[in-house]
Amino acid sequence: MSNLRGNLSSISLTDVAQLLHVNKKTGLLKVNAGKIAGTLFVVNGDVIHAETPHSKGEMAAFEILEWDKGEFEFIAQKVQAPNSIRRSVPDLLMESARTSDSRKRLRSLFPSLKSVPWPTLQGDALLQGIKIYTEDRKIIPYFDGYRDFLDVMATTEQNEVQVLQAASILHDAGRLKLFEPEVQVSVGILKTGFFKKGDHLEAPKSLEAHWRQLEPYSIAPITNVRVMWAHGPAVDPIQFVTGMNDFTIAISKDLLGAWGLNEGDIVQVRPAP
């Protein structure tokens, strides 16, 4: 079983996971479902970690185990990964099946985890007259118009179903809007000098105008942006200036070096608190 390959049309990932569990195998179960891929990290038959392009841990494992189209390959090798999943394989598979219908329903409401949820009411009025559980009350404050669903999951350490369930309560009550403010921009070099420090980023006024049309950012000035680069997000001060090309961002040479970016690279940016 050092190189187990197959097609998900002929065998399910649940069956594959059970086979690896029974035989106490160690290695990587790589799954390619077409437009998305993921990996289950297996040690002595137990799934200890999972990763997809936009999730890690239990949430990623549940997502992968639902895929029913594509191909898989198990590669026997030593595994170095965080022990993010502490359930036994039978428990993991049972919980995945239990939450599958809920996850599919919620993803039909919220198809993109990169959407930013924003409540349309503030303060006590937001929750007035709706039934809400303690777990949801802990999540909803992080729907602040800046964090996307992935950020909310990472901050609250709650899984996809729990976060989207909290969002669905507000959505069903007509008290939640979704925005996708992230924009792809080309990296330029910020010119610095004796009178101009490189302690901020610069972007064109047109980008500020684009974001200010979205309700969460129409009230207060946009002073920071979240930049997604190879090793994760960074939040830095932003100044909007005239004379810059649309969909560009100027970054100091020091930051470019620290982030491993080059002039002309493409990054994703959106407003940050």
All domains of the chain, ordered by start, with CATH?
A: 3-99 (no CATH), 110-179 (1.10.10), 183-272 (2.40.40.20)
Give the separation between CA 264 and CA 244, rounded to whole angstroms.
14
What one-letter code names the amino acid at 140? I
User: Which residues have CB under 8 Å from 10's CB, separation 6+?
Assistant: none
pLDDT of residue 104: 84
* Residue 140 CB coordination number (10 Å): 21
Intra-chain end-to-end CA distance of the chain, in Å: 50
Element (H, E) at 60: helix 58-65
Q: 51: which strand partners?
A: 39, 56
User: 3-state class of 217 per DSSP?
Assistant: helix
pTM of the model: 0.73
User: Which residues have CB under 8 Å from 60's CB, separation 6+?
Assistant: 38, 50, 51, 52
Q: Which two tokens stand for residue 126?
A: 């937001």
pLDDT of residue 219: 87
pLDDT of residue 228: 87
Q: Which two tokens stand for residue 230?
A: 């190879």
User: 3-state class of 238 per DSSP?
Assistant: strand
Residue-level pLDDT, tens digit, the chain, 273 residues: 457 899 999 999 999 999 999 999 999 999 999 888 999 999 999 999 999 887 889 888 998 998 989 999 999 999 999 999 999 999 999 988 888 888 888 989 999 989 999 999 988 899 999 998 898 999 999 999 999 998 998 888 887 888 999 999 999 999 999 999 999 999 999 987 665 676 899 999 999 999 999 999 998 999 999 998 777 788 999 999 999 999 999 999 988 888 889 999 999 999 999
Give the separation between CA 206 and CA 209, rounded to whole angstroms.
5
